[in-house]
Amino acid sequence: MPELIALNSVAPEKVERLLDDAFGADRFGRTAYLLRKHSKPIAPLSFAMLEKGEPVGSIQCWPVRIGDFPIVLVGPVAVIPKLQSKGIGHQLMHAMLAAAAKIEEPVMVMIGDPEYYGRFGFSAEQTGGWILPGPWEPRRLLARVSNGVAIPEAGMLEEEDRAL
- CATH at 151: 3.40.630.30
Q: Tell me, what's the pLDDT at 163? A: 53
What would the pLDDT profile of 78-125 be if each residue is shown by its tens digit? Answer: 999 999 999 999 999 999 999 999 988 889 999 999 999 999 999 999
Please report whether residue 133 resides in a domain.
Answer: yes
Q: Please calculate the CA angle 137-91-123 and round it to the nearest 5 degrees.
A: 30
Length of the chain: 164
Please report whether residue 110 resides in a domain.
Answer: yes
**Number of domains forming the structure of the chain:** 1
Is the bond into 76 cis (omega within 30 degrees of 0)? yes
Please report whether residue 128 resides in a domain.
Answer: yes
Q: Are strands 129-131 and 108-111 parallel, antiparallel or unpaired?
A: unpaired
What would the pLDDT profile of 39-69 be if each residue is shown by its tens digit? Answer: 899 999 999 999 999 999 999 999 999 999 9
Please report whether residue 40 resides in a domain.
Answer: yes
Please report whether residue 114 resides in a domain.
Answer: yes
Domain that holds residue 125: 3-159
Q: Tell me, what's the pLDDT at 38? A: 85
Residues 6+ away with beta carbon under 8 Å from 155: 66, 67, 69, 129, 130, 131
Please report whether residue 164 resides in a domain.
Answer: no
Q: How is residue 152 annotated by DSSP?
A: -
Cα(110)–Cα(108) distance, integer angstroms? 7
Cα(129)–Cα(138) distance, integer angstroms? 9
Q: What is the mean pLDDT of the chain?
A: 92
